[in-house]
Structures are given as structure tokens and as C-alpha cells.
Amino acid sequence: MRKTSANHVKFKLATASTAALLSIAMAAPAMAQSQGPDSGPTASELRHSWLPYTTSGYVGASIGRGELNTSCVAGLSCEDPDTSGKIYTGGMFNPYLGIELGYIQWGDADRNGGQQKARGVNAMLTGFVPLGPMFTLVGKVGATYGFTKSQPVVGLVAPSGSEDAFGLAYGAGLSFDFTRNWSATLDWERHDLKFAGDGRKDVDLTTVGLKYRF
């Protein structure tokens, strides 16, 4: 019953994230028009991107803390990784909607007297809502292809082995644009990863970082 409830909550969060991104995409032309005919970038001002069919590309790196919501045997050490991080690149379809590709590495977690590892590559649609001249609210929804490995202490009857699979990913963030090209970022993401003997579990990532726009 608890698992069904958790899946229902994740479905509702993903649906809300998707709806928010679609709302941003649909509202973009009206927002641009309301700002006046000269508010949009000219052809010469559009920056290049590493991703096909996009402009105004960017790259970024962030570091922070991960949280693995996997099972733990009572009485054994179970701690989340001290440091996790992400590198990524993205591009824009219009001033409000884009796409982002990234690689995530959660630091090795201390789990059941051994180690648990999680890595992933992901693709996410991104929506941007300006909150003034320097701040931007960001929403994300997409998928992560995760790689996990569980190594409990030798002789312990606990989940062990490796898994890889696609899973849902979504998140939100805030960026502070302190120059035309550079931004400071604060992000939270949730990724649905598969672990050997433990099934699908939520793995969170909270980071701060820097982003450079071309």
C-alpha cells in the first residue's frame, strides 16, 4: 500500500512538472509579445549551441549532496555520500523552453557495511521563468539512464549486484545571472534508479554550481 502511494505521488509530481513546462512553452509567444517588438534577440544576437536544433547554448557544473533512499539493515552503518556532482550542457528552443543533457555521479554511499554506487546520464526538458533582470526559476522533467552497484559487507544477506535502467527524473532550480555569460545555480533533482535486489528507489541530488552561456 505504501509503495502504491509513493508511486502515485511521483506520478503526480512528474505530471505537474510536465504541465508547468507545457504552460511555459505555450505562454512564451504571448510573453514575448507583451514585452514589445524589440525585446527578443536578433539573429546576430542568437548564440550557438552544442545541441542540434537549439540556440543560446550553455555548459555547467555543480556540486553538492546526494541522498540514496535504499534499504538499510538495522545495526549496520548506512550513510549517504558526502559529495555528489553533475556536469551538463543545454540549449534553447525559444527563450522559455529548452533541453539539457547531463552526467551525474553520486559519491559512494556507505550502505550495509559496504558500498553502494550510483551514476547516470540524463536528458531533461527545461522551462525558464524570469523573476526579474537577474533571477530565473527553472523546472525540469525527463529521464535518467542509471548505473548502480551494491556491495554489502561480505557474508551479509543483503541486496548485492549491479543494475542499469531508464527511470523518471524531475527537478527545480534557481539561477542568479551575475553577468551576461555567467550564472550561479541552485538545483534539486529526483531520479528514479534501479538497485539490485532493492527495486526502484528515489535518489535525490541537491547542488550549487556555475553555468556559462555561449
Annotate 90-105 with DSSP letters as a single string. EEEEETTEEEEEEEEE
> 36 in a domain, yes or no?
no
Contacts of 155 (CB under 8 A, 6+ apart): none
> 114 in a domain, yes or no?
yes
Q: How many domains does the chain have?
A: 1
Q: What is the mean pLDDT of the chain?
A: 84
> 176 in a domain, yes or no?
yes
Do residues 96 and 88 touch, judged by C-beta distance below 8 A?
no
**CATH at 86:** 2.40.160.20
Query: How far apart are alpha carbons 74 and 189 in whole angstroms?
Result: 28
> 57 in a domain, yes or no?
yes
Bigger pLDDT: 157 vs 108: 108
The mean per-residue pLDDT over the stretch 81-93 comes to 96
> 195 in a domain, yes or no?
yes
The mean per-residue pLDDT over the stretch 100-129 comes to 94
Bigger pLDDT: 94 vs 15: 94
> 174 in a domain, yes or no?
yes
DSSP 90-158: EEEEETTEEEEEEEEEEEEEEETTEEEEEEEEEEEEEEEEE-SSSEEEEEEEEEEEEEEEEEPPTT--S
pLDDT at 10 over 60: no
The predicted pLDDT at position 7 comes to 52
The mean per-residue pLDDT over the stretch 20-28 comes to 52
Sorting pLDDT into bands at 50, 70 and 90, what band is 19? Answer: low
For the question of whether the overall pTM of this predicted structure is more than 0.85, the answer is: no
The predicted pLDDT at position 44 comes to 45
Sorting pLDDT into bands at 50, 70 and 90, what band is 28? Answer: very low
The burial class, CB within 10 Å (0-12 / 13-18 / 19+), for 165 is middle
Domain that holds residue 84: 2-26+48-213
Ranking 44-48, 130-134, 175-179, 203-207 by mean pLDDT, the lowest is 44-48
Contacts of 110 (CB under 8 A, 6+ apart): 77, 78, 79, 116
> 179 in a domain, yes or no?
yes
> 113 in a domain, yes or no?
yes
